[in-house]
Every structure is written in C-alpha cells, then in structure tokens.
A and B are shown apart, each in its own frame.
Chain A
Amino acid sequence: MDYDILVVGGGVTGCAIARSLSRYDMSICLLEKGEDVCSGTSKANSGIVHSGYDPIPGTLKARLNVEGSEMMPRLSRELDFDYKQNGALIVCFDERDLPKLKQLYDRGVKNGVKEMRLLSGDEARAVEPNLSDGVCGALHCPTSGIVCPFGITIAFAENAYANGVEFRFGAEVRKIAKIGGGYEISLSDEKKLTSRYVVNAAGVYADVFHNMVSDKPITIVAKRGNYLLFDKEVGNYVSHTIFQLPTAAGKGVLVTPTVHGNLMVGPTSKEVEDKEDTATYAVDLEDVARMGSCSVREIPMRKVITSFSGLRAHEIGGDFVIGEASGAKGFFDAAGIESPGLSCSPAIGEYVARMVAAEAKAKEKAHFIGTRKGILRTRDMDPAQRTKLIKEHPEYGTIVCRCEQISEGEIIDAITRPLGATSMDGIKRRTRAGMGRCQAGFCTPRTMELLCEKRGSGMEKICKNKEGSELLKGGTK
C-alpha cells in the first residue's frame, strides 16, 4: 500500500480531516484536482460561523455545528486565521411569522446555543441602525461569527503538512476500486495509488466516488449561490450578520460584514446540472440585490467591487453523510457538507479522524505540532514594529497591492512558505493582494514577477489558477 490514508478533496472539510488525522502515526496523502487547496466550494461561500440554531435537533448537522462553532475561537488563535464573533440577527418581516422566530429560538436552545434572545423590530434597529423599517422582530444570536474561508482552509492544510501529510495537486481522481486490504485510486494522469483507507471529501463530486464503492448510493445536488461583495468603504454598513427568517418564498439572503471588513450580500440558491457551473447570472445578481434590500435600507449598489458564485454540495437526504460507507469497509464519507459545513469543519475533522483512527487502531504521535503561524499582516502593525521589520527584511517596505496595502514580503512569504501559492489566485487567497477595490488592476504585473522569480518559471507560465488559465500569450513583437 502506498499510504495508510488517502483523503480525496482539498476543501475545508478535506483539509480539516487531514489536519486532525495528522495527530496519528499514519502515512496520509491528500489529493486535490485543483492547483491549490480551497479552490472549490470552500473559496466561494458566506464565510459564516453559524451558532447552530438552524439544524434540526438530533441531526449530525446540529451536533457538529455547535461543536465546530465552539472550537472556532481557540482554533483561530492556534492556527492563526481570521475569525470574529460579530453576532447574528435573524430578521422577520411579517408579524404572522413571529412564532417561527420563537421556534428557531427554541431549536437553538435544544441544540445548545448560548445567549440567544428575541428582539422587537425597534430593539433590533437599536443594535443595527441600518435594518429596514420592515423588520418587525429578530432573533439575536451573539455567538455567531465570521471567518476567512481561505484562511481557515489554508491553515488546516499548512498545519497538516507540517505534521507530515503529503499533498498532491492537479490530482484528479477518476476511479476508486476496492482491492485486498484497501483501495486503489486511479488518477486522470493514469497514475494509480493504493491505500488502506479512503476519506471522501470531494464536495459536489462526493456522490460519484461514494457510489463507486458503496451498495447504498447517495446523490449530491449542486446548488449554485451568487454573491455580491462591496468596497470596504461600506464594510460597516452592518456589524451583525443579518439573516432572513426562512419563509415559504425561500431561505432569503444574508447581509454581512466579512472578517476583512467588506460588506457581502447573498447567496441565491439554484440547483444546477453542471457541477462546474460557477458563473454568475444577471437575474441572480438582481435577486441578491432585491432580497438583500428587504433586510437593510438600500444596499449601496454603487460600491460593489465584485460578484462571484459557489456551489453547495446538497445531499438529497438533507443531512451530512459522514461515516463509513455501507458495504465499503475502510471508505469514509464526509459528504453533503453544505451550510453550515464551514462552521462544522473543525468538528468534522476531529469526528472523522477519530473514526478512522479507531478502525486503523492508530496511535497518536508523540510530537504533534498543534499550532501554525500565518503570513504577517504588516498593515496592522504599529509603525515602530513595522520599521524594525523593514530594517531586517526590506521586502516588507514595498507595497505591491495598493488597495489592501500588501507588501512584497507578504507575497514572497505566500509563495515560499511550505505548501505555498503557485498561482495568482493562491497568492490572492493567502495575502488578499488583488482582493481590493481595483481587483488586481495595479498589482497583477508585480505579483506575476514575484511568482516567476520565486518559482523560477517564465511569465508566460503564470496561471490565474489551474493549468489552462495562463494570463499571457507570449512576448510582444
């Protein structure tokens, strides 16, 4: 066997599981079809740490949500990613729906969510002045938070790597077959890998792999969500995450500050056939704006800096599918991880790792590295500290991304650190260079040069993300 465990999928779920598994003395490899971790659903979602009032009590979702959410503050310090407990308001627009708000409150209590309280419309507007006049009641949930979805995924991955997990990128799984004592995985480049155990964290494709080995098929439906992201200038338009009470008309959209200080509105929800359909659509973007403006007084549409869409992996049963697949000993699913999947990820990681370790009778390592240090954020440093850093490392004195004030040093660190960025998007997600209001207009050429210098490749080879996304078409005449 090549490995003890192969983890399929480098999203937040796969990386969290890999990180938790790396506590144990086993050989682990994570396979990711993209050029980097966090290049599917994990990169395009709401970035919310739900407190856990929403899932039906008794479901796996409910349990892992509350656990995951409670792990988040400490984990964000240990693994150095951005997280903030900003609280949430679930708002209601119709007096007749107030009982449903109460139901949500009761459900939260059952799930173990702390500190919730019900507010009148005016009380809600007192804590969140930009709420619309149509809000007639709200559930206030102070333990709800916001997290950087890239930050947490990359942190899990880097920490897993530091603890010996191998990562293979551009490794697209074609086939998984049961063999004596484990599984054989065939990749798109004809390579074959064998492993005693398989963890299936393949997002919208998890059903495909599950159904190759299990006698009880599952079905994952991709649900596309469009989002609008706004300039930091309006980042404090709301301070809480504003959810809409689900009604017969739908689940509604949320209006939230992001952990980096932007304003975000979304998502829509449409089932799609194509599991790669991450395009945005005019009608969806209009829906986002229209629905968002129910919650708050006029969405500042002139301040939109970008729009994007992501796919949720919805299993038609409605709950997460986590555990050993029926009829496939040693094949563990972490499938159907839709919202609140990001919130649950730390708990899913621990849960799956314990399950696999128990079956493998694996022992915990003596020297597990439990912490990880992220990339320095020089713009947050005080002047004296920053000057000292620049004297020692002059590269932190050159600003490459003007909008987000990201220095050359930060970009170089993103490229050269273990499991570093190989693409423009990889740098963007690690440092925020190119994520500001000019959307990489100014920093693209210099960032490309740095990527070339540090990776030793030609400018023509630089990709936005995976192969085929080269930015240039050769030299000038």
Chain B
Amino acid sequence: MNGHDIVIIGGGPAGLAAAVAARETGVQDILILERNHQLGGILNQCIHNGFGLHTFREELTGPEYAQRYIDKVLGSHIPYRVDTMVLDVQSHRVTYINREEGMVTISAKAIILAMGCRERPRGALNIPGYRPAGIFSAGTAQRLTNIEGYKVGSKVVILGSGDIGLIMARRMTLEGAKVEVVAELMPFSGGLKRNIVQCLDDYNIPLKLSHTVVDIQGKERVTGVTIAAVDSHRKPIPGTEEHYDCDTLLLSVGLLPENELSRGAHVDINQVTSGPVVDDTLETSQDGIFACGNVLHVHDLVDYVSEEASLAGRNAALYALGGKREKKGIPIVATGGVRYTVPQRLDIHHMSDMVTVRFRVGDVYKGRYVSVYYDDTRVMHLKKKVLAPGEMEQVILQKNSFGQFSDVKTITVKTEEA
C-alpha cells in the first residue's frame, strides 16, 4: 500500500491552508485529494468581493482568495489530485477513486478532514406544495450562474437569509431578475449584517423576518409561492398568507458540515455543529484524524477557515513527525446562549500559548457579556454591543491564565446579562 505522511481530504480553502501550514511545519510528504476539477473549492463560484480582509488586509473575490493559497501550494510543490473522490476514511487509511487509478487505498500517518459543507435542501424543511422545476438551493443557483453561465430565473422568491441567499439576491438582480422578497423563518437573519445591507437594502429587496413558504405552485415550472408569517413556535399564522407570482424559489436555509466520511471513520460528531468533536489541536476522537473548515463547523468568513486550517495543518504535521499527544484535556462547555464551542476539549498542560475558542450564539443579544469560567471562577467578562447567530464569535484562552487553575475540571463559555 502506498502511503503519505499527511493526506488532506478536500482542496478548498481549508485543505489548501492546512497543506501550506503542514509543509511549513516540516512535513514533505503531503497529498491533497480534491473531488472537483480544480482546487479552490466553493470559493471558485463566489465571485463577489469581501474575502481576505483579515488574512490579506485587502478585499478579494472568492477565486482571488483561493488563488493566493493555490499559488502557495503550487509554489511549495505540494502534490494534489483533482477529480478524485474519497470513498472511505479510517484511522491511517484513505480509499479514493479517480479515472486514472481506479479505486485505491493508501495509508496516512495523519489525515485532515476538510470536505466543507452542503446546503439543506427543500425536503429537509417539509415545505408543502408541488415539486416543479425552478426550486434551487442558493449554492446550486450560484454555481449555475457564475460557473456555467446560465440564468436560473426571472422572478425570484428566496427562503432563508443565509449568506449565500443574500449574495444570490444581489447576483440575480444584477442579471436582470426581479427578486420579490426574502423570507426568513427566524426573527433574525442567519447571514452577516454587511450582506443584508449590501445585497438587500441597497437593491430595495424586502426581508421579511418570521415568515416562511407555505405553498409552492406550478406543476412543470414554479408559477408562484405563498409565504406566511409564523408565530413564536415557527408555525404559520392562518390569514397572513401572501402570494407572489414567480418562476423561481431559492433556498438558503442552512449549511450542514459534510461528515459522511467522518462518520464512516467513527469520529465522534457534535450534535449542534454536526461536525467532529475536536480538542485544541483540532484532532478528532480518532487517532491522527484532524478536522478544519466548514466540515468542522460552518464559518461566516473564509479568513477564519484559513486560520483554523493552518492550525490543523500544523498539528497534523507535528503528529506525523512523531509528536503524538495523549488524548487528555478537559471539556469546554457551551451554555447560556452559547450554542457550541470549537474546540470542545482543551489540554491545559500541553496547549499552545494561545488557543482560540470559536462559538456562535443562539439568538440576537444586545449589550450582553461573554463570560468564561474555569470551574466556578469567572476569568473573562467581555461586554458585546451585539451578538448575533449569523456572526461567529471567539474568545482567546492564554496558557498562562491557567497558572492558579492547574486542576480545573471544566471550562464554561456563556453569555450573561451582567
């Protein structure tokens, strides 16, 4: 069986940054496996700008941002295979398929999961009505528009205010389509504030919070959509129905980390993130399997994906070079409005000097505090103007902050009124 020090599954932003960091840490033998025709992942279809403000301190488009990392990978001669689909992952073993080699199993000292995420489809929401053509998830519509060069609709209703839906509201408007309305089930948007301003407000596209689609009309192609207001239990309120004539319904109703391979590898999955449970090295519950990017948890900005992936790449490299660390560490608990944290475990004795703990909140909070407790002692208390589910938050834990807490059992991250 052929083998490599590190095999990276996915050549999108996470996989690329992980590869670059692993090489910088001193591992020569790396292989990136990418299922698409080219490296870059989903960034290739994100032709809008707004990428890279944190990483490169300039505004790039998705393909430009991807190219920066592709150039680094090519520059350091890191091997990769495209059009290659990984079928199975086990500890230290990866099976993939492509046209040239057929079905191949290779060994790997360390594996980095960087498969990204996918969109929730209509079916998952149980939207009633007919099942005609003209219903697309926003990302599929984005691909058909930006990569294939086709217009998917002329009169559009969008359900869900996730970032891709917001971006597509603007994109379709620029293509001459009329976007009638964006309906959002929740009382707040799941997207970034800047996207609501730049993609909806600037084009006078109404955003209806606490609304959902209750009927889809049209037997061959969509002819109309009915939306209605929902109550506090997210149930449609009779009598509030509004009909829109349209030929297209776009769905931007959530992203799901793509963890089929992780499950196959018996990696423990967190119920909230739908991604692997990881420690502060981003190692999963399985020996030598690391995870980063949207397969770990859905990010709001690619800059954070790159940062996180670099960490996974560095740690996978240290692991492959023989620096295996015992699986110890204490749990990081999310509560009080904090939905989850990544990582979920921290080894305070072997951690780096600083560990970034990322999280999302479950509701919109104004003027609340984000607090960190070491057991019962509050060690961090940060006032936040606004906390919103659409924006990822973080706290940074310093290794030296554990000086007097060397036997701490639990770290808790929560929001507090005061």
The answer to whether B121 touches A390 (Cβ under 8 A) is no
Given A441-B140, A475-B150: A469 and B105 interface contact (C-beta under 8 Å):
no
Contact A469 B123 (CB under 8 A): no
Residues A399 and B128 in contact in the complex (CB < 8 Å), given A438-B119, A468-B220, A477-B176: no
B247 contacts across to A, CB distance below 8 A: 473
Give the docked Cα–Cα distance between A229 and B122 (Å). Answer: 12
Q: Does A180 contact B (CB under 8 A)?
A: no
User: In this complex, what residue of B is CB-closest to A460?
Assistant: B150
Contacts A279-B128, A394-B99, A476-B149 known; A441 to B85 CB distance under 8 Å?
no
Docked-complex contact A471 and B148, CB < 8 angstroms: no
User: How distant is B165 from chain A, measured CB to nearest CB, in Å?
Assistant: 14
* Residue of A395, A439, A442, A473 with highest tally of chain B CB at under 10 A: A473
A308 — nearest CB in chain B belongs to which residue? Answer: B131
Q: Among residues 114 to 134 in chain B, which have CB atoms less than 8 Å away from a CB atom of chain A?
A: 118-119, 121-124, 126, 128-134
Measured between alpha carbons, how far is A394 from B154 in the docked complex, in Å?
39
Distance A388 CA – B101 CA, assembled complex (angstroms): 10
A386 located at the interface, meaning its Cβ lies under 8 Å from any Cβ of chain B in the complex: yes
Residue of A281, A441, A463 near B121 (CB, 8 A) is A441
Q: Contact check: which of A304, A440, A444 meets B126 at CB < 8 Å? A: A304
Contact A386 B130 (CB under 8 A): no
A219 interface contact, C-beta 8 A: no
Cα–Cα, bound, A387→B136 (Å): 35
Closest Cβ of chain A to B372, distance in Å, is 31
A238 and B208 CA atoms in complex are apart in Å by: 41
Residues of A within 8 A of B121 (CB): 305-306, 437-441
Is B152 among interface residues, defined by CB-CB distance under 8 A? yes
A249 CB-CB contact with B under 8 Å: no
Contact residues in B for A27 (Cβ distance below 8 Å): none
The answer to whether B152 and A473 have CB atoms under 8 Å apart is yes
Q: Is the CB of A444 within 8 A of B140?
A: yes
Interface size on B, residues (CB 8 A): 56
Say yes or no for B139: interface residue by CB 8 A criterion: yes
Q: Is A464 an interface residue (CB 8 A)?
A: yes
- B residues 60-101 near A (Cβ < 8 Å) are 83, 85, 87, 95, 97-101
Assembly CA distance A231 to B153 (angstroms): 29
B140: chain A residues within 8 A (beta carbon):
440-442, 444-445
Most buried by A among B97, B140, B143: B97
Per-position binary interface string of chain A over residues 365-400, scored 1 when its CB falls under 8 Å from any chain B CB and 0 otherwise: 000000000000000000100111111001101110
> Are B144 and A472 in touch, CB under 8 angstroms?
yes
Which residue of A is nearest B146, CB measured?
A: A476
For B103, the chain A residues whose CB sits under 8 A away are 383, 386-387, 390
Question: A477 contacts which of B128, B143, B175 (Cβ < 8 Å)?
Answer: B175
Q: Mark A435-471, 1 if CB is under 8 A from B, else 0.
A: 0011111101100010000000001100111111111
Residue of B nearest to A423 (CB): B133
Dominant secondary structure of chain B at its interface with chain A: mixed
| Distance in Å: Cβ of B87 to nearest Cβ of chain A | 7
Given contacts A397-B97, A398-B83, A442-B118, are A474 and B150 in contact (CB under 8 A)? Answer: yes
Q: Complex: how many Å from CA A459 to CA B143?
A: 14
Instruction: Compute how far the CA of A276 lies from the CA of B122 in the bound complex, rounded to whole angstroms.
Output: 21
Q: Does A405 contact B (CB under 8 A)?
A: yes
Q: Does B219 contact A (CB under 8 A)?
A: yes
B176–A472 CB distance below 8 A: no
Cβ of B20 to closest chain A Cβ, rounded Å: 26
| B151 CB-CB contact with A under 8 Å | yes
Assembled-state Cα–Cα distance A229/B124 (Å)? 10
Size range of the chain A interface in the assembly: 35 or more
Q: Are B122 and A306 in contact (CB under 8 A)?
A: yes
Distance in Å: Cβ of B166 to nearest Cβ of chain A? 18
Mark contacts of A278-315 with chain B using CB atoms, 8 A cut-off: 1 yes-contact digit, 0 otherwise: 11111011000000000000000000111110000000
Complex interface: chain A residues within 8 A of B154 (CB): 473
CB neighbours (8 Å) of B97 from chain A are: 386, 390, 397, 399
Q: Is the CB of B128 within 8 A of A397?
A: no
Give A402 to B101 CA distance when docked, in angstroms: 19
Known: A465-B220, A473-B152. A390 touches B99 (CB 8 A): yes
Please, how many angstroms separate the alpha-carbon atoms of A37 and B273 in the complex? 42
Please give the distance in Å from A434's CB to the nearest CB on chain B: 10
A437 CA to B119 CA, complexed, in Å: 10
Interfacial chain A residues near B379, Cβ < 8 Å: none
Q: Complex formed: what's the CA distance from A405 to B99 in Å?
A: 14
Q: Give CA–CA (A394, B174) in the complex, Å.
A: 40
CB-based contact A441/B150 at 8 Å: no
Chain B residues near A228 (CB-CB < 8 A): 126
What's the Cα separation between A4 and B85 when bound, in Å? Answer: 51
Q: How far is the CB of B129 from chain A (nearest CB, A)?
A: 5
Contact call B150/A459, Cβ cutoff below 8 A: yes
Chain A residues, CB < 8 A from B214: 282
Q: Which of B105, B123, B130 contacts A279 (CB 8 A)?
A: B130
The answer to whether A304 and B123 touch (CB under 8 A), given A397-B99, A397-B100, A476-B145, is yes
Interface centre among A228, A233, A441, A466 (most CB of B within 10 A): A441
| 8 A-B pairs closest in CB distance | A387-B102, A306-B123, A468-B220, A439-B121, A397-B99, A464-B133, A394-B99, A469-B220
10 more contacts with CB within 8 A, not counting A445-B144, A471-B152, A476-B145, are: A281-B128, A282-B126, A304-B124, A390-B103, A397-B99, A438-B118, A439-B122, A441-B118, A441-B140, A473-B248
Provide a sorted-by-A list of 27 A–B residue pairs whose CB atoms are within 8 angstroms: A229-B123, A233-B263, A276-B219, A279-B130, A279-B215, A280-B126, A282-B214, A306-B122, A307-B126, A308-B131, A383-B103, A386-B97, A387-B102, A387-B103, A390-B99, A390-B101, A397-B98, A397-B100, A398-B83, A398-B98, A438-B121, A440-B140, A445-B147, A464-B220, A468-B220, A469-B132, A473-B247
Q: Which residues on B are within 8 Å of A, measured CB to CB?
A: 35, 83, 85, 87, 95, 97-105, 118-119, 121-124, 126, 128-134, 136-137, 139-140, 143-145, 147-154, 174-176, 214-216, 219-221, 236, 247-248, 263
Interface residues of A (CB under 8 A from B): 228-229, 233, 276, 278-282, 284-285, 304-308, 383, 386-391, 394-395, 397-399, 402, 405, 437-442, 444-445, 449, 459-460, 463-477
